[in-house]
Amino acid sequence: MLSKTPVLDSLLRRGGSFLAFAFGLYLLTRGVWGMGLPLLLLAAGMRGWLPQLPDGVIPGSATRPSSVRTADLVIMLDSNRQPVDGQVIRGRFSGRRLSAMQAGELMQLRAEIAADFVGRSILEAYLDRRLAGWREHFKDDAHARGFGTAASDAMTKQEAYQILGVKPGASAQEIRGAHRALMKKIHPDKGGTTQMAARVNRARDVLLEGH
């Protein structure tokens, strides 16, 4: 998926797979697909967030995948690893191609696949290329309808377990311990992003509800 490099080795050694995933996501949002996508997929595979390896990808190789399969989506890539289209494989939009979906439908799909952490991240990067300014528009529209913060904070327990890397039914002590360990690696002061730190905090809060 991605040949070992000093940069990758350093990321995995210092921050683990979560920091590598965060950096891969950061690169995707800036259009650096050649490095960002394979880094994100390698980190996601290490954390068990992918149902299987993407088509044609061999870990540790430079093979360029023609598609990426996640729990809810199959994303087609060009020779530069940039998304050109995709197909929904689960849920109410199952069978639909991304290129045939309207902007409103894509926003609904984004909300529907919240538990597919990898798929949602790649979909958002696809939207960055297809619908310039969609993030600002969606934020304004959400606030106009009165659910801006609630919508952005929405997270299932399944997604929270995946983010913190703990098993379902984990104790409050295990949840807090996993949260502290991750925050030491992906806190903005340590080179992480505020977005990823916020998601880790939200995952902790979701899992501690009821404890």
pLDDT of residue 207: 92
Token pair recorded at residue 60: 């540790």
pLDDT of residue 193: 63
Range scoring the smallest mean pLDDT among 3-12, 20-29, 92-101 = 3-12
Helix axes 157-164, 117-130, angle to 10 degrees: 100
Q: Which of 29-33, 36-40, 207-211 has the highest mean pLDDT?
A: 207-211
Q: Could you give phi then psi for residue 138, rounded to 5 degrees?
A: -65, -40
- pLDDT average, residue stretch 189-200: 69
Which residues share a beta bridge with 77?
83
- Per the model's pLDDT, the better-predicted residue between 211 and 165 turns out to be 165
Domains in the chain and their CATH numbers?
Answer: 6-153 (no CATH), 157-208 (1.10.287.110)
Range scoring the smallest mean pLDDT among 40-44, 50-54, 69-73 = 50-54
Q: Which of 17-21, 119-123, 196-200 has the highest mean pLDDT?
A: 119-123
| Terminal Cα distance for the chain, rounded | 40
Q: Cα–Cα distance between 15 and 8 in angstroms, integer?
A: 10
Claim: this prediction has a pTM higher than 0.85:
no
- pLDDT average, residue stretch 161-181: 88
Taking the mean position of all CA atoms in its chain, how far away is CA 113?
Answer: 11
User: What's the order of all strands across the beta sheet hosting 73-77?
Assistant: 67-69, 73-77, 83-88
